Amino acid sequence: MSAYRSMLYIPGNSPSLLQHAPIFGSDSVLLDLEDAVALSEKDAARKLVRHMIATLDFGRILVTVRVNGADTPFFERDLEEIIPACPGAIRLPKCGTPDDVRAADAKISALEERHGIAAGSIKLHAMIESAAGVVNANAIAGASPRLSAITIGGQDLIADMGAKKSREGWEIFSARGQIVIAAKSRGLDVYDTVWTDVNDNEGLFEETKRIVAMGFTGKAAIHPMQVPVIHSAFTPEPREIDFAGRVIRAAEEARRDGRGVFSVDGKMVDGPIIAQAARVLELAALSKRGGVQ
Amino acid sequence: MTAAKTAEAGSLESSDCLVIITEADKYALDYSGANASLFRRRTEAAVARALSAYGNPVCAVVIKDQGALEPTLNARLETALERAGYGRLGS
Amino acid sequence: MSGEAQKNAIGRDVPKRFFDGRDVIPYGGPWARVTAGDSPERCAPPLGGIARGTNKVTWDVKEAITRSGLENGMTISFHHHLRNGDETVGLILTACEEMGLRDLVLAPSSLSEVHDPVAGFVRRGVIGRIHTSGVRGEVGKLISRGEMEIPVMIHSHGGRARAIEDGTIRIDVAFLAAPTCDEAGNFTGAIGKSACGSVGYAMQDARYARHVVAITDNLLPHRLSRVSVPQHLVNQVLVVDSLGDPRKIASGAVRLTRNPVERRIAQDAFDLLLASGSIKPGFSIQMGSGGASLGVAACMRDHMRAKRIKGDFACGGMTGHMVEMLEEGLFDVLYDVQSFDSAVTASVADNPGHVEIDQSCYANPLNRGCVAHGLDVVILAALDVDVDFNVNVLTGHDGVLRGASGGHCDTAAGAKLSVVVLPSFRGGVCSIKDSVLTVVTPGETVDAIVTERGMAINPLRPELAEAARGAGLDVMDLRELKENIERLTGKAEPITPDRSRTVALVEYRDGTILDSVCRVGC
């Protein structure tokens, strides 16, 4: 399980935003070569992102780069330029089938080898933005050991479905569910889509709480002011933290006593509950590390 | 007889720089902006590195610096050189 | 350096003598004169009565100047509470020029961009010398180019107060903007169409000037009851149509910054305050009005509300945020020497907990206890800093004068914990230098420097570093932080001013000379 609650999107051709990528307070960043960059500047963006990754100190922040889709003339050049800079992960947009993942995996493997980078060290995040992609979520999730996360692209998905966007997000509830299950069945991280109304932080908070409850491990942000809102929605309630602490302590005791099975608050506790408790404590620790509210 | 290679990259927005590369008879660097007196040596070194990576073409280089960091300067130089047709880094 | 030079305690070159032959005392440490028990004579204005029934009021600028006895070479002062809305300096200097007055010594508490026309008065010989805390715009360039023969004296707020009291600055005529004034000369800045809040700098000038002219655009037909400067200190009341542009005098309430770099600095600086244990019941704090400082104030307010902590006092230049905290009961008292926004003026007028203090009470190191010496924490901005923790708030990257000493060195020395907050780079130039061009606050009075890319703690404060690390904060070596930033910006070439020409002297708050500013082309 990861500790990346927020993923801040930063336009790849904007020096004034990129240069501050490490200090916005998000757990991870997405440096975008795709939708945020004009066609005439694709070459400039990939160079800029490459140099920024190589020079900035990101500390614990996961650096991901969204390349252009495999059906564009920019895809290969993006990978060739970016892979040598060793980002944490490449986000592959418009993933519709497991073959999309495998093709990208093969290209990245070849580039890793050519540049002496440890094989498999650069991860892939698959972005599902179509109905077909949702249908293939299971297969996509199992397509490659390089894949470490799936993410949902709500805007394009809604358009593809011919559905209507609502504040509560009912139209993609099913898609979200399928994607979370597909991801979790393979132990992958799973990121939710952007909340586009930067003036409505209340709506962002409510949506984030909903998707946290569904099992999403992180959410996209399109503005730095959204980051603390997202983090606060990921912060467990005091009750949950208390229960999680007791579960972990009881598990340790049980282990020492050689007991396989134990209970907390009168309920039986097994593997998944312990893992859940560990995650709650991890999120609680993260939220203590601060961030401007 | 082909036209002189010339291309630009970057912009005049804050934290960026505008780089214009033009094929020429001899090397020249026109570096301007608020930091011009502070970063002349740094910029000359960056230009020398970039030209060297592309086979030392003979160019006139114009840089208008709006407070760009080094990675930005280096990226814009490479982009301008590639747009001008001086090849590609790596293969 | 014209004439001989000597090195002071921080290794800076300062002249051996002033322009008039007096010896320069070089800076010898922040508490040198206090520890030595220096007790210079107090320089008070002479007594002098006026006939009973004298009418102090005039509508004629030149008449007021004539009645003040102002002659060539005398010293005039103004306060800077009207900030960039001020029209009084221009009004008085124009009249002085028309009356043929020359070689005046201009000693305002500070100068802003609105005072660009002062450059013209200097060039035409109306002004021969300047004492100020700050200088910007055209006047800054004029001085930096070396157009003034006699070096300008830069004072901190506390230093100016001391200078006025020990006679270094002898004010002949103080022209004090008085937003609301009665016929006897009682005035205040808390009310009126040109209200500016506290008139802390005016209060002191009024006590020590030989002659005081209150300038008002709001003459009351009755007696003023809430008085900042009382009538017995005021010789004349000059009535004008307008003191200046109210929108620039008291700007709209300063808003919390949305700039992510400032917010990050604010959060990290606040984490340091918490780790230091400074935020506890009865604490006191001063913060500036910059984005990062206000961000710290916001974090602090949320924390104080949550933990029900009440502070003794907040001090300095006041903003609406501090007023809200006073009204919420988070502080007992606000000590206001200068009000920064319009949200403050009503509080100055109405709230007994909002106390107007004068410049000496605020920060003079040679009195019986200035407020600055009672501070637990001060948050300070900076133009740049160096690896020895010295701070420059006066000269820009190009070496041109564009800032103000203000209360910086006063509060840095006085506060138990002094934290400087600044972005790691501005306009692509690293904010940490090997050696700042101009020292305004010496490093030994600075405890921590916080940027958005890391914080450093003065080696003189190992217990603070330990507390910070204990709280999980990443404390870096300042040189290492500088190198990290320079990996992004590149290394800037140092400015080389013309060291044969000193254009300004930076006075430390105790009257010793801390640094020299030399000529640069601009």
> Would you call A48 and B75 a contact, using CB atoms and an 8 Å cutoff?
yes
Q: Total structural domains in chain C?
A: 2
* pLDDT tens, position by position, C365-396: 999 999 999 999 999 999 999 999 999 999 99
pTM of the model: 0.94
C260/A289 touch (CB, cutoff 8 Å), yes or no:
no
Is B5 an interface residue toward A (CB < 8 Å)?
A: no
> Is residue C301 domain-shared with residue C433, that is, in the same domain?
yes
* pLDDT at res. A230: 97
* CA A118 to each of CA A78, A123, C54: distance values in angstroms, whole numbers, following the listed order: 19, 11, 93
Q: What is the mean pLDDT of residues A126-142?
A: 98
Least confident of A286-290, C448-452, C515-519: A286-290
Residue C324's domain comprises: 260-489
Q: How far, in Å, CA of C263 to CA of C297, rounded?
A: 11
CA within 13 Å, CB half, C74: 18
DSSP 8-state symbol, B72: H
Strands (E), C183-321: 187-188, 211-216, 219-220, 236-239, 284-287, 311-318
Spatial separation of the C-alpha atoms in residues C335 and C361, rounded to whole Å: 10
Choosing from C223, C249, C275, the residue where a domain stops is C249
Q: What is the mean pLDDT of chain B?
A: 93
The partner residue sitting opposite B40, judged by closest CB among C425, C489, C493, is C493
Note whether C299 contacts A289, CB cutoff 8 Å.
no
Cβ separation A22–C260 shorter than 8 A: no
**By the 8 A CB rule, do C320 and C341 touch?**
yes
Partner chains of A (3+ C-beta pairs under 8 Å): B, C
Residues in B closer than 8 angstroms to A81, CB to CB, are 90
Residues C242 and C101 in one domain: yes
- Give me the pLDDT at residue A292, please: 36
Better-scored residue on pLDDT, A287 or C442: C442
Q: Is the confidence at residue C401, as pLDDT, over 60?
A: yes
What is the distance in angstroms between the Cα of B46 and the nearest Cα belonging to chain C?
A: 10
- B6-83: in CATH 3.30.230: yes
Per cent of chain C over pLDDT 90 is 91
Share of chain A above pLDDT 90, in %: 86
pLDDT (mean) for C410-417: 98
Q: Is B71 on the interface with C (CB under 8 A)?
A: yes
Q: For A217-255, how does the pLDDT look when each residue is reduced to its tens digit (9 = 90+)? A: 999 999 999 999 999 999 999 999 999 999 999 999 888
> Is C100 within the bounds of a domain?
yes
At C156-188, the pLDDT tens digits run 999 999 999 999 999 999 999 999 999 999 999
In a domain, C507, yes or no: no
> Among A13, A86, A6, A90, which Cα is nearest to A46's?
A13
Q: Which of C449, C464, C446, C435 is nearest to C410 (CA)?
A: C446
Distance CA(C474)–CA(C275), nearest Å, equals 12
User: Of C217, C249, C281, which one is at a domain's C-terminal end?
Assistant: C249
Would you list the domain boundaries of chain A?
Answer: 6-234, 238-288
Q: Are C113 and C486 contacting, i.e. CB atoms less than 8 angstroms apart?
A: no
Q: With an 8 Å Cβ cutoff, is B64 touching chain A?
A: no
The answer to whether residue A266 scores a pLDDT higher than 90 is no
- Percent helix, strand, coil in chain C, to 5, is 30, 25, 45
CATH code, domain carrying C116: 3.40.1080.10
pLDDT of residue A2: 64
- Contact yes or no for C492 and B34 at CB 8 A: no
The pLDDT assigned to B2 comes to 60
Q: Which chain C residues have any C-beta within 8 angstroms of a chain B C-beta?
A: 397-398, 425-429, 487-493, 495
pLDDT given for residue C345 in this prediction: 87
**Which ipTM was obtained for this model?**
0.95
Q: Is the torsion defined by CA of C136, C142, C145, C148 positive or negative?
A: negative
- What does the pLDDT look like over A96-105, one tens digit per residue? 999 999 999 9
**Which tokens belong to C38?**
């220096």
* Confidence (pLDDT) at A290: 52
Across chain A, what does the average pLDDT equal?
94
Taking residue A283's Cβ as centre, other Cβ atoms within 10 Å add up to: 22
> And the tokens for C355?
């106390």
pLDDT of res. A293: 33
Highest mean pLDDT (candidates A252-261, C289-298, C357-366): C357-366
Q: Which pLDDT value is given to residue A1?
A: 47
Answer yes or no: are the C-beta atoms of C151 and C105 closer than 8 Å. no
Q: Does pLDDT of C362 surpass 60?
A: yes
Paired residues of C2 in beta bridges: none
Return the residue of A nearest to B8 by Cα.
A44
C contact test, residue of A23, A24, A57 with most C CBs within 10 A: A23
More reliable by pLDDT, C338 or A260: C338
Q: Which pLDDT tens digit goes with each residue over A67-104?
A: 999 999 999 999 999 999 999 999 999 999 999 999 99
As a whole number, the mean pLDDT across chain C is 95
CA angle C404, C405, C406 (to 5 degrees): 90
Beta carbons of C13 and C7 less than 8 angstroms apart = yes
Residues 6+ apart with CB under 8 A from A75: A67, A68, A69
Closest partner residue to A15 among B15, B78, B79, by Cβ?
A: B15
DSSP string, C85-129: GB-HHHHHHHHHHHTT--SEEE--S---GGGTTHHHHHHTTSEEE
> DSSP string of C14-73?
EESB-TTSPBP-B---TTHHHHTT--PPP--PPP----TT---EES-HHHHHHHHT--TT
- Given a cut of 60, whether residue B1 has pLDDT beyond it is no
- In words, the CATH class of domain A6-234 is alpha beta
Question: In the beta sheet, which residues pair with residue C105?
Answer: C75, C129
Please give the pLDDT value at position B3: 65
Query: β-pairing, C498-507 with A62-66?
Result: unpaired
Residue A291 confidence class, pLDDT cut points 50, 70, 90: very low
**pLDDT single digits (tens) C82-94:** 999 999 999 999 9
Residue C256, SS3? coil
pLDDT recorded at residue C340 = 83
Q: What is the pLDDT, as a whole number, of residue B91? A: 47
Assess whether pLDDT exceeds 70 at residue C2: no
Distance CA A14, CA B13 (A): 9
Of A18-32, A139-153, C241-255, C477-491, the range with the lowest mean pLDDT is C241-255
Q: What is the pLDDT of residues C452-508, one digit of tens each?
A: 999 999 999 999 999 999 999 999 999 999 999 999 999 999 889 999 999 999 999
- Nearest CA to C325 out of C356, C294, C290, C349 is that of C294
Per-position b or e across C469-502, b if 16+ CB within 10 A of its CB:
eeeebebbebeebbebbbbbbbbbeebebeeebb
Q: What pLDDT, in 10s, does the model give residues C260-292?
A: 999 999 999 999 999 999 999 999 999 887 889
Q: Which of B13, B15, B54 to mutate to test the interface with A (most CBs of A within 10 A)?
A: B15
Task: Identify which of B15, B42, B66 has the shortest CB distance to residue C490.
Answer: B42
